[in-house]
Amino acid sequence: MDEKRKVLLTTSIIVDLPENDDDVFERVEPICEKLRTVVESLFNDDESVQATGVIAYDWFGEPTTNVGRCTRCNEWVTNREKPHELRGLSSATLVDGKLVCDQCR
Ligand SMILES: [Zn+2]
């Protein structure tokens, strides 16, 4: 199949982390394994769908992580006018200096 006739579909989840940094890996790794297992099992009878097994980590609170809250609906969003837009979150832009998601505009 021509690569132009494919699409990469990505979804995302947001996970609450434990307070103690030493416990973060134990919290996140089983969730990653569950995601891989579920996605692969959902499509293992369809050769036209290939699970990549790739899980991207975007840590909230890091200086370069482009994440915030829509000031109207309070959903997690990414500002598409700034660098490092997160494709797993709804897009938002500044409206009168406040972050507003596309659904609320
Ligand atoms: Zn909103």
81 Cα: distance to centroid of ligand 1 (angstroms): 16
Extract the tokens encoding 74: 């309070």
Cα radius of gyration rounded to whole Å, the chain: 17
Extract the tokens encoding 8: 């990469």
Handedness of CA 22, 23, 24, 30 (dihedral sign): positive
> What is the structure's pLDDT at 1?
65
How far is the C-alpha of 69 from the C-alpha of 66, rounded, in Å? 11
29 Cα: distance to centroid of ligand 1 (angstroms): 30
Full-prediction pTM beyond 0.75?
yes
Burial of 101 (0-12, 13-18, 19+ CB in 10 A): buried
76 Cα: distance to centroid of ligand 1 (angstroms): 8
73 Cα: distance to centroid of ligand 1 (angstroms): 4
pLDDT digits (tens, 9 = 90+) for 4-36: 999 999 999 999 999 999 999 999 999 999 999
